[in-house]
Amino acid sequence: MRSPISAVTIVKNRTEKLSNLITQLEQCSPTPDELVIVWMAPPSDLSLVRSDKFDIVHKFATQDALPIAKARNKGMLAAKHASLVYLNVDAVVAPSLFKDGLLALRDNTVVFTSVVFLPNERCSKPYLQISKDEKQIGYLASNDDTLPDDDNNEIPSREQEINHGKFSDDSICSTVFFIRKADFQKTGGFDEGYAGFGLNDEDFFTNCRALGFSLEQLPTRTFAPHRPNYQCPVNHLLDFVHNAQRFHSKWGFYPCVSVLNAYAKEGFINADYKLNGIKIKQLPQQEDEDKAGAPVEQLTVTNAQDNVEFTSFHSPEKGSDLLSTTA
């Protein structure tokens, strides 16, 4: 049986995760009526995938290297139903997800699941098998206490930082969240001025609070891969710094201070960034990226809206004026 809801996900290279997600959604009761997949890669045979259980709509956002915000917006706005659920492509979701989410969803509300982070290999199993295993061996990390009882949607968002492969409370919310399409449109969507990786989630949910939306957590659990390199994502330093400065210019505080403090501890940025703004002191070398277990990426980022340009990590011609950035 299908439920009157559109599911949305985005994907670039993690096609195995996408196949796993589709299989999970097919096993849900009820299923979504449609899944909108936005590809951050050119069309291929993989972008023709179909399902007998629900409609699959394929969209593309390939103009930028990692157009996360643009891809999310495209998917959410292309969805045909009034109720939406966004899913990270690597999420392992409960069979009752859509029933639970639709029962809780109301106007001016964002509903999200709790998230349990596990080693990547354990996330390839079916949800019920993972649940059974976790009862025996215990959780690696969980955000069951993401929203304290006294949360009243104040800005800034809570400072609680749990360093188990996650940035902050709000990056957890985006693993799986439900929202009315009309409410998503009220927010203006994800801010496409954020470049590439990091802090787009925090910005979106801070904006939701500013609009007076209620953020409510379901007891339903979602499993997701543990990513230890996210505690200090050196291969995304330039994007993260740009985005942190943009966030600060909008909301008046720095998010994800655990990540910024980790950058400062490694000597990549100044330790007094809260007082004097973020300045990049040095760029990661190859051994820094290897130590973090992160793939080497091309890290030239240009954001025309803010007229901020960053050079590659490994470019020998780095003027100091390029290393002190402003949003």
pLDDT digits (tens, 9 = 90+) for 178-231: 999 999 999 999 999 998 878 999 999 999 999 999 999 999 999 998 866 566
**Could you give the dihedral angle defined by the CA atoms of residues 292, 10, 35 and 216, in that order, rounded to the nearest 10 degrees?**
70
pLDDT digits (tens, 9 = 90+) for 95-139: 999 999 999 999 999 999 999 888 888 888 899 999 888 776 655
**What's the predicted TM-score (pTM) here?**
0.79
2-226 under CATH 3.90.550.10, yes or no: yes
pLDDT digits (tens, 9 = 90+) for 45-65: 777 899 999 999 999 997 767
The residues, any chain, with a CB within 8 Å of residue 167's CB and separated by 6 or more, are 198, 199, 201, 202, 230, 255, 256, 258, 259
CATH 3.90.550.10 maps onto the chain at 2-226
- The pLDDT score that the predictor gives to residue 311 is 27
pLDDT digits (tens, 9 = 90+) for 238-297: 999 999 999 999 999 998 898 999 999 999 999 999 999 999 999 988 655 555 544 433
pLDDT category at 298 given cuts 50, 70, 90 is: very low
Q: Which residue has the higher pLDDT, 321 or 253?
A: 253
| Residue 72 contacts residue 10 (beta carbons within 8 Å) | yes
Mean pLDDT of 227-237: 74
